[in-house]
Chain A
Amino acid sequence: MSCTSPIVRELSAFAMGELDEERSRDVLDHVEACASCSRELDLLADLVRLEAEPRALQSTRGEGRTAALPRKRPWRWARRIAVAAALLLLALGLFDRAFDPSGGAVRPADLAALADRSLPSFVAAELRGPEAGLASEFELAMQGWQGPDLGAVESSLTRFLDAHPDHAPARFYRGVARRDLDRLDEARADLRSAVDRAQGPLREHALWCLAQTELLSGDAESAREALRTLRDSGGDYAECALALEERLAR
């Protein structure tokens, strides 16, 4: 359960060294008693570390202390043979197949690893349609979006969509909720519907989430199609789409 204390708002300021002694003491007092904020502080410690010491990740990617241990010299002739064999396979276009037990077919697990299942940021301005009454009804359905019970939000959005089936933001958010509930086929249908109905930033959000959902479903071709559309749109997501397309190509 997340903490409701106002101290939560001070945590990042604490981690960045922006608080005076009184407020920093208040934060420390609170963190000692609050498991949620204690976890949050650890996350901030990691983020601060990643920013302050970019090599931290690199060093953990390495082999830790084993890197300092003496190693046997590799057999040069064996390495040369391996490189020559790899070059030959590459030349024949067989490299991927040689090391892929499925014979070159894309594996859903690999695609899933490329997908980011994080919820998109909640952009309230995009949720407000031209009809104020409808917007407030929708916002009511979205209550709890930041909370832990995604199933409840999915249900309330379903009720809302029963009455307003063409509401693009509701399609989008229900699609994201269903994706995170592992109801991938339903999520794809919702997100495609949102793409068809939405314009501007919401359409880009929907395309991005659709691409992720296609990846989770193991459908690389559909993911590429969504990414291509996103890239060609030239919006804020274009760069992300291009980067993911390149990773997919690899």
Chain B
Amino acid sequence: MRIPWESFLARYRALGRNLAAGLTGSRDDADDVVQEAMLALLRAERDGERFATLEHARNYFLRAVRNLALRRRLSAANHEPLRESLGELAFQSEPLPEFGGLASELEREKARLSALDAAVSGLEPDARALFESRLRERRTLAAISDETGVPISTLHSREKALLERLRRAVERAGDGP
């Protein structure tokens, strides 16, 4: 499988940034780490690595994010751009490869995100409040539990049910994640 780079980057960039920011403690470093991880993935594919599915490529990317974030945090020479030590500078000036099926890929992405957006808009007030605290205000379940007095196990259950609802809404729209 060839990686559909444009949609892959769009879909996983924010997730990778969150993961890297959590591990490095810096949003700026996180941006660098995500870029490095994308370059590592690109290099792997160019070196002949074949990913059977998009999930395999995603897992490779997330592992790269995690490892690079840890290396960055542990590196004594934190100011030294990691990409230089990896010898990946050459990739930066090259355009990302084109991928086939652009139109259908964009259509699928459009349908998926629209369905998700609609499902989020249609959440009931209590579910909506949890969603906003968690994703928009970036508060942990422990913090929400402390403030509201709702046991954390209940919040876990509510969050699970909320995600299940959203997933089903997306699947009903015809293109599950």
Interface residues in B99-141 by Cβ distance below 8 A to A read 102-103, 106, 109-110, 112-114, 116-120, 122, 124-127, 134-136, 138, 140-141
Known: A45-B12, A64-B106, A121-B161. A24 touches B124 (CB 8 A): no
B21 CB contacts on chain A under 8 angstroms: 17
User: How many Å lie between the Cα of A51 and that of B133 in the bound state?
Assistant: 12
User: How many Å lie between the Cα of A135 and that of B70 in the bound state?
Assistant: 51
Q: Does A159 contact B (CB under 8 A)?
A: no
Interface residues in B46-66 by Cβ distance below 8 A to A read 55, 58-59, 62-63, 66
Known: A12-B134, A31-B59, A237-B125. A43 touches B20 (CB 8 A): no
Distance of B99 from chain A, by nearest CB (Å): 12
Contact of B11 among A20, A21, A49, A118 (CB under 8 A): A49
Known: A116-B122, A121-B161. A49 touches B13 (CB 8 A): yes
User: How many Å lie between the Cα of A120 and that of B124 in the bound state?
Assistant: 7
- Chain A: residues with Cβ within 8 Å of the partner, total of 55
- Max chain A C-beta neighbours (<10 A), residue from B106, B122, B134, B157: B122
* A52-60, A84-92, A182-190, A220-228: which lies at the interface: A52-60
Can you name the residue of chain B whose Cβ is closest to the Cβ of A64? B106
Can you name the residue of chain A whose Cβ is closest to the Cβ of B56? A32
A97 CB contacts on chain B under 8 angstroms: none
- Max chain A C-beta neighbours (<10 A), residue from B19, B116, B127: B19
* B36-44, B80-88, B163-171: which lies at the interface: B163-171
| Pairwise interchain contact B109-A146, C-beta atoms closer than 8 A | no
User: How many Å lie between the Cα of A192 and that of B157 in the bound state?
Assistant: 29
Contact of A16 among B110, B118, B138, B170 (CB under 8 A): B138
- Chain B: residues with Cβ within 8 Å of the partner, total of 62
Can you name the residue of chain A whose Cβ is closest to the Cβ of B105? A64
Known: A49-B11, A50-B120. A16 touches B106 (CB 8 A): no
| Pairwise interchain contact A42-B116, C-beta atoms closer than 8 A | no
| Pairwise interchain contact A17-B66, C-beta atoms closer than 8 A | no
A32 CB contacts on chain B under 8 angstroms: 59
User: How many Å lie between the Cα of A52 and that of B116 in the bound state?
Assistant: 14
| Pairwise interchain contact B119-A116, C-beta atoms closer than 8 A | yes
Known: A43-B170, A56-B10, A120-B124. A146 touches B161 (CB 8 A): yes
> 1/0 per residue B131-165: CB within 8 Å of A?
00011101011000000000000001111111111
| Pairwise interchain contact A60-B124, C-beta atoms closer than 8 A | no
Contact of B116 among A41, A50, A208 (CB under 8 A): A50
Q: Does A9 contact B (CB under 8 A)?
A: yes
Can you name the residue of chain B whose Cβ is closest to the Cβ of A243? B121
B102 CB contacts on chain A under 8 angstroms: 64-65
Q: Does B174 contact A (CB under 8 A)?
A: no
| Pairwise interchain contact A16-B122, C-beta atoms closer than 8 A | no
Q: Does B89 contact A (CB under 8 A)?
A: no
Known: A17-B19, A24-B19. A40 touches B126 (CB 8 A): no
B112 CB contacts on chain A under 8 angstroms: 46
> Which residues of B pack against A, CB within 8 Å?
10-15, 17-23, 55, 58-59, 62-63, 66, 70, 102-103, 106, 109-110, 112-114, 116-120, 122, 124-127, 134-136, 138, 140-141, 156-170, 172, 176-177
Sample 10 A-B pairs with CB under 8 A, ordered by A number.
A13-B141, A19-B22, A24-B22, A39-B177, A47-B120, A49-B113, A51-B135, A52-B18, A61-B114, A236-B126
